[in-house]
Amino acid sequence: MDSDTSGGVSREELRAWILRRHRGARQEELREERRRLDGDGDGVVTWQEYKEISFGEGEDFQGSPDPDSHRQLLLRSRRRFQAADEDGDGRLREPELDAFLHPEDFPQLQEIVVQETMEDLDRDGDGFVQVDEYIADLYQGSPGSPEPPEILREREQFLRQRDRDGDGRLGPAEVQLWLSPPSPDWAGVEAEHLIHHADLDKDGNLSREEILGRWELFVGSRATDYGQDLHRGHDEL
């Protein structure tokens, strides 16, 4: 990360590292998923290939501990597959497979992303995401225990920024604004976010100690694919 060996990581160094890790991890995932799912090795993934590898041949899931949940997941996957299949030929080439795996990055799949998010977070089924439903997806504390500072900040961010009309809940339009595709310089925005919260001495750079002291911030960041990148084999962290 510290490419100029100055002992601190600047915004531009952090931005470059985020982009480097993101590109490498994305291409690695695409290659791995295509190899895993492309049963006949023709370079594309059909719905039948995906379904059989991910869910098995049947669709009743009677042997599953939660067959209803598996059926819902199958329907969701089918819906996303069809949305990612831009030419409608029933086969996903690499760019379409990328959209299937990462719909949040593709404007044409935003409606699917909003629908999936609402299904995940709207626990009472009223068509809105209440602030407590939002927090419940992030943190499960002991009953009566105080929420940690980072969760209190998330609650405040929900009310101040994401709840545009101030009614204490998010409708589909507000969820779409929250999940809209990242800005062209999303890596720079993410770098600024990380420096803002981890730069304790406010010198504009991150030291090794500052990064390690806020490791949970990096684990929850898109910079590390929300922690997934930390488990891959490489030497850059």
User: Does the pLDDT at position 119 exceed 90?
Assistant: yes
> Is residue 61 predicted with pLDDT exceeding 80?
no
Q: Is 232 helix (H, G, I), strand (E, B) or coil?
A: coil
Q: Which residue has the higher pLDDT, 218 or 114?
A: 114
pLDDT, position 89: 95
Q: Which residue is listed with tokens 């009223």? A: 126
Residue 145 per-residue DSSP state: P
Let me know the angle formed at the C-alpha of 77 by 221 and 94, rounded to the nearest 5 degrees: 70
Q: Where are the beta strands (DSSP E) in the chain?
A: 45-46, 91-92, 129-130, 169-170
Query: In this predicted model, what pLDDT tens digit does every residue of 198-235 receive, in sequence order?
Result: 999 999 999 999 999 988 888 777 666 655 554 544 44
pLDDT for 237 equals 39
pLDDT at 132 over 50: yes
Q: What's residue 63's pLDDT? A: 62
- Per-chain mean pLDDT for the chain: 87
| Residues counted in the chain | 237
Task: Give pLDDT tens digits for 137-174.
Answer: 988 888 888 999 989 999 999 999 999 999 999 999 99
- pLDDT value at residue 14: 93
Q: What is the 3-state secondary structure (H, E, C) of 175-229?
A: HHHHHCCCCCCHHHHHHHHHHHHHCCCCCCCECHHHHHHCHHHHHCCHHHCCCHH
CB 72 within 8 A of CB 105: no
pTM of the model: 0.68
